[in-house]
Amino acid sequence: MRISEAIRMVEIAFGYSTAIHDDWKLEEEALTIAIEAMKKQIPMKPYFEHVYFCSVCNSEVVSGTDYCWNCGQKLDWKED
């Protein structure tokens, strides 16, 4: 299963959940954090303006690094 498919399945399950109890807010927060963490594993290309920048948080990144030092986004350095 691809990460994007897993994200979609979790979002669907999360959106249609009918569970209502005292811990629901904690579960909602945990699912939101899990979805965001999964999204960060989908490589994003940095953009170049004299130096490289993360396309998610706009922080400067070093060429060839695997992840943004600021937000943790996985970086894609492959040529198209």
pLDDT digits (tens, 9 = 90+) for 12-60: 776 655 555 556 777 778 888 888 899 999 999 999 999 999 999 999 9
Number of compact structural domains in the chain = 2
Does 47 share its domain with 79? yes
Could you tell me the two tokens for 17?
A: 């959940």
Nearest to 50 by CA among 63, 38, 40, 39: 63
Q: What's the pLDDT at 6? A: 79
Q: Which residues contact 25 (CB under 8 A, 6 or more apart)?
A: none
What residues make up the domain containing 48? 43-80
| Residue 27 and residue 57 share a domain | no
Cα 58 → chain centroid: 15
What is the structure's pLDDT at 22?
59
Return the pLDDT at 14.
Answer: 67
The answer to whether the beta carbons of residues 52 and 63 sit under 8 Å apart is yes
The answer to whether residues 80 and 48 belong to one domain is yes
Same domain? For 47 and 78 the reply is: yes
Residue type, 58: N
pLDDT at 77 over 90: yes
